Amino acid sequence: MRKPLLRLEGLTKAYPGVLANDDVSFEIGEGQMHALLGENGAGKSTLVKMIYGLVKPDKGTMTLRDQPFAPAQPSDARRNGVAMVFQHFSLFDAMDVAENVALGMENPPPLRDLARRIRDVSEAYGLPLDPTRLVGELSAGERQRVEIVRCLLQDPKLLIMDEPTSVLTPQEVDILFRTLRKLSSEGTAILYISHKLEEIRALCDEATILRGGRKIATCDPREKTARELAELMVGQVLHPPARPARPVGDVVLAVDNLSLKSNNPFGTSLKDISFTLRAGEVLGIAGVAGNGQDELLLMLSGELLSPSAQVQLKGLPVGHLGPNGRRKRGLVSAPEERLGHAAAPDMSLTANALLSASARKGLAKNGFIDWGASEAFARAIIARFDVRTPGPHVLARALSGGNLQKFVIGREIELDPDVIIVNQPTWGVDASAAATIRQALLDLASKGAGVLVISQDLDELLEVADSFAALNEGRLTRVRSSKGLTVEEIGLMMGGAHDMHVAQVASV
Amino acid sequence: MIQLEKRKEPSKFWRIANPFLAVALTMLAGGIMFAMLGKDPFVAIRLIFFDPIFSETFASYSRPQLLIKSAPLILIAVGLAIGFKANVWNIGAEGQYIIGALFGAGVALAFFPAPGWYIFPLMVLAGAFGGFLWGMIPAILKTRFNTNEILVSLLLVYVAERILAAMSLGLMRNPDIAGFPGSRDLRRYEAAHNAELFANTGIHWGVVAALIAVIFAYAMMTRHMLGFHIQLAGQAPRAARFGGVSPARLVVVCLGISGALAGLAGMFEVSGPGGQVRIEFASGYGFTAIIVAFLGRLNPFGIVLAGLLLGLTYIGGELSQMMLQLPGAAIQVFQGMLLFFLLALDFQTNYRLRLTRGASA
């Protein structure tokens, strides 16, 4: 048994209407790799926020190396050797690496010294990083390194990592894991939050599983199968989506040699994109975040226009048509960002149903809105996709992420399209809702629609896609069949470790 | 320690309550200001808010004035509110009001002294068109060159004022009266006169137009796709684009509608209560309408109430100038305070103040 580093006892935190954590107790040993598992909304974030001093527990105590530990704010936690790498980076694109690191420090040394230390630490842990590069030019994996190095400079005893691999290629994941193992062997404990079960089985030596704010179990993940872990997380038996064999029909969407400049200074321009999508086909497009996924969706949905012949829908040029013109001709889309892009936060679900459905569902006659029909349509989406909400009058922002995602994807599927484009369809959605959404997409394909799924979740793509391509710095690889595709190959399609030398971790 | 906390949902209560609270606070602060000017605050407040309607001595004159002053405010504010909902900030309604008046008066003066039923409708069209054109300048500059419509529309007010002065002294000057600036009096030209429709009510065609505009605006914002798109663009621009809204088209539509309505207001004023094109024709309705739009919560019916209230302060202001020798600027300060308090109070629709205990390290 390892010496305990951090002990949590009876941690409880309530928010209005929800008990985010209910009497959670467990221990993290020195140098231990401890996984925190759970679905979205299980209380993982609240729990680590309490450890990191961002949230104060209502009840319960923490003990760090036999001393009472009650950080009032993150700087207290950092002083006690607790560091955290967040899922969403807090970096400034227009500043270089060293400046960004300095911003996160209490008493930053002169930039020149800092740059040297960044270089030393990053080399020692196999995380190559040039302190003088602008963060805006870095890949997601490199940005994460900035965050990790920022933490390592504080010489932490406990490193909390929130979903660190969601932005990495498989090769980058390997590099990260080697770094984490080295840290662990030197005595740094790691609290690793994820819902990727295979990763946790490969990396961690203990796992605590949360469900609905309560601790369900602490176990050794290597002794359980991924399926057993998933069922512990969800609390029910899972069924993988059914994929009936289906005939593949004519080309419904063709993009020909399209280049498009991004309208965002730190966005990714698309370069020479060409592919075809057939009726009944599910095409999966992988890629690390920020490699042109958003731009690809905007270009296909009609929010960004292109020369008309370069985007063809059922043989007709549509590149010059806006979103509603394309919807009328059978192409619908669901962007990644639910709140603010796919849905208007401060409008009701009825209004949000109208948002994209008016063109195809005839919800407006001569421009006059049929609110009754819009509400009925919203109700239909809510019923078919099991959206948990008191009713269609509720504001979109009052829904949880997963429920809103079901609503947004459901809305597009209910439009009975010939082509549907979705970006990150199950991001932040719990396992059973994700299964519903994937099944609905597969059903749509078997009814003869062309389905294009852009996703950073490789397991998801392997589960649903018939054919496969990857976006890397705005370029799309050749489309190939997903039969027999290995994760290794996908990783290389995604750009490997983004042209960085696979790091040499000093042997332990 | 006092902390600001964002509300989960904007408070409906404060949304409705704030305009009333702002009026009360304005009375209080205005009273203090009047007291510092050496006037009895209670008398001044009563003169501004109550006497125009309730006093036996003044009401017979002031009551019809209420509609005359409020109608242009409401007409302009309804248009501005549509744009404000879409985050299109037309601050230059005063300029569109002036140009609308000039276009309307121009038609009348061109036909003078011919009779004809068609002259007044033509003036209405011309007035709306003039305001529309003046609104198109910031709209096109914004969509083509990405200029800021706030700045451009505001600066165009001063251009319009120069044009008004030039017209009063030159092209539109009354040729029959040598030496005096200003056009013919349209009230004396029957075919062009926007006369009172019912004696001693103050109801002229501008009042009718304001009512129609209120109803149309309400129907558009609640029942029509255009209104839906306007609200969408204001609340969630990216979602609007996803919904197929073209931001450029919306800028043109919003500035066009608010420009045309402001132009109409100017035309009804110049052909009725104002009477003639003259240098001091513009009286700030275009700016006061901004206050009306916000005080009315950008809602057409709210704007009716707010327009009546601000119309009242105009009349009451004149009354208090006459009776108490209050400076004319005092009433503008008064109107400004109203907007100031409203915006300050509106903070609490979205945030709440929370007292927290406990020390932070």
Q: Could you list the beta-strand ranges (E) of A196-266.
A: 206-211, 214-219, 251-260
Answer yes or no: are the C-beta atoms of B42 and B284 closer than 8 Å: no
CB atoms within 10 A of CB A256: 17
Answer yes or no: are the C-beta atoms of A434 and A403 closer than 8 Å: no
Percent of chain B past pLDDT 90, that is, above it, reads 63
pLDDT value at position B356?
64
Q: For B224, which residue in chain A has the nearest alpha carbon? A: A368
Please give the structure tokens belonging to residue B78. 């309804």
Pairing outcome for strands A316-317 and A311-313? antiparallel
Percent of chain A past pLDDT 70, that is, above it, reads 94
Every domain of chain B and the residues it spans: 38-326
CB atoms within 10 A of CB A238: 12
Q: For A74, which residue in chain B has the nearest alpha carbon? A: B361
Contact A368 B231 (CB under 8 A): no
Does an H or E element contain A409, and which?
A: helix A401-414
Does the predicted model carry a pTM greater than 0.90? no
Answer yes or no: are the C-beta atoms of A506 and A120 closer than 8 Å: no
B356 touches chain A (CB under 8 A): no
How many pairs of residues across A and B have Cβ atoms under 8 Å apart? 73
Q: What 8-state DSSP symbol labels residue A3?
A: P
Contact A322 B244 (CB under 8 A): yes
Q: What 8-state DSSP symbol labels residue A396?
A: G
Answer yes or no: are the C-beta atoms of A207 and A233 closer than 8 Å: no
Contact B238 A354 (CB under 8 A): no
Contact A347 B241 (CB under 8 A): no
- Residues in chain A within 8 Å Cβ distance of B224: 367-369
pLDDT in tens, B116-146: 999 999 999 999 999 999 999 999 999 999 9
A74 touches chain B (CB under 8 A): no
At A339, is the secondary structure helix, strand, or coil?
A: strand
Contact A73 B360 (CB under 8 A): yes
Residue B34: pLDDT above 80?
A: yes
- Residues in chain A within 8 Å Cβ distance of B240: 344
pLDDT in tens, A307-343: 999 999 999 999 999 999 999 999 999 998 888 999 9
- Residues in chain A within 8 Å Cβ distance of B8: 398
A301 touches chain B (CB under 8 A): yes
Residue A497: pLDDT above 60?
A: no
Answer yes or no: are the C-beta atoms of A336 and A294 closer than 8 Å: yes
Average pLDDT along chain B:
91
pLDDT value at position A240?
62
- Residues in chain B within 8 Å Cβ distance of A342: 239, 242
Specify which residues A118 forms β-bridges with.
Answer: none
Q: How far is CA A168 from CA A113, A174, A320, B139, in A?
A: 29, 9, 35, 45
Q: For A351, which residue in chain B has the nearest alpha carbon? A: B228
| Closest CB from A322, A335, A347 relative to B246 | A322
How close B222 comes to chain A (CA, Å)?
Answer: 8
Contact B225 A368 (CB under 8 A): yes
pLDDT value at position B110?
94
Q: Which of A329, A363, A368, A421 to mutate to test the interface with B (most CBs of B within 10 A)?
A: A368
Query: In the predicted model, what is the mean pLDDT of residues A104-112?
Result: 82
CATH 3.40.50.300 fits domain A251-337+417-493: yes
| Closest CB from B8, B224, B361 relative to A368 | B224
At B244, is the secondary structure helix, strand, or coil?
A: coil
Residue A498: pLDDT above 70?
A: no
Residue A113: pLDDT above 60?
A: yes
Please give the structure tokens belonging to residue B70. 């409020």
Please give the structure tokens belonging to residue B8. 């989960």
CATH 3.40.50.300 fits domain A4-234: yes
Answer yes or no: are the C-beta atoms of A345 and B235 closer than 8 Å: yes
CB atoms within 10 A of CB B50: 13
Sequence letter at residue A290: G
Contact A342 B242 (CB under 8 A): yes
How close B52 comes to chain A (CA, Å)?
Answer: 41
User: What distance in Å separates the CA atoms of residue A445 and residue A453, rounded to the nearest whole number?
Assistant: 12
Contact B361 A72 (CB under 8 A): yes
User: What distance in Å separates the CA atoms of residue B111 and residue A135, rounded to the nearest whole number?
Assistant: 69
Q: Give the dihedral sign, CA A31/A25/A427/A147.
A: negative
A502 touches chain B (CB under 8 A): no
Sequence letter at residue B96: Q
How close B357 comes to chain A (CA, Å)?
Answer: 13
Specify which residues B2 forms β-bridges with.
Answer: B355
User: What distance in Å separates the CA atoms of residue A486 and residue A170, rounded to the nearest whole number?
Assistant: 11
| Nearest alpha carbon to residue A329 among A450, A238, A197 | A450
Fold of domain B38-326: ABC transporter involved in vitamin B12 uptake, BtuC (1.10.3470)
- Residues in chain A within 8 Å Cβ distance of B246: 322
ipTM of the complex: 0.84
How close A155 comes to chain B (CA, Å)?
Answer: 22
- Residues in chain A within 8 Å Cβ distance of B223: 368-369, 371
User: What distance in Å separates the CA atoms of residue B228 and residue A369, rounded to the nearest whole number?
Assistant: 9
Q: Give the dihedral sign, CA A186/A188/A189/A194.
A: negative
Every domain of chain A and the residues it spans: 4-234, 251-337+417-493
How large is the angle between the packed helices B247-271 and B93-111, nearest 10 degrees?
50
Are A4-234 and A251-337+417-493 the same fold in CATH? yes
Torsion-angle region of residue B49: left (phi > 0), alpha (psi -120 to 50) or beta?
Answer: alpha
Q: What 8-state DSSP symbol labels residue A227?
A: H
Answer yes or no: are the C-beta atoms of A305 and A393 closer than 8 Å: no
Across A471-480, B46-55, B84-93, B348-357, least confident range: B348-357
How close B19 comes to chain A (CA, Å)?
Answer: 22
Query: Please, how many CA atoms are within 13 Å of residue B83, restricted to the half-sphere of its CB?
Result: 32
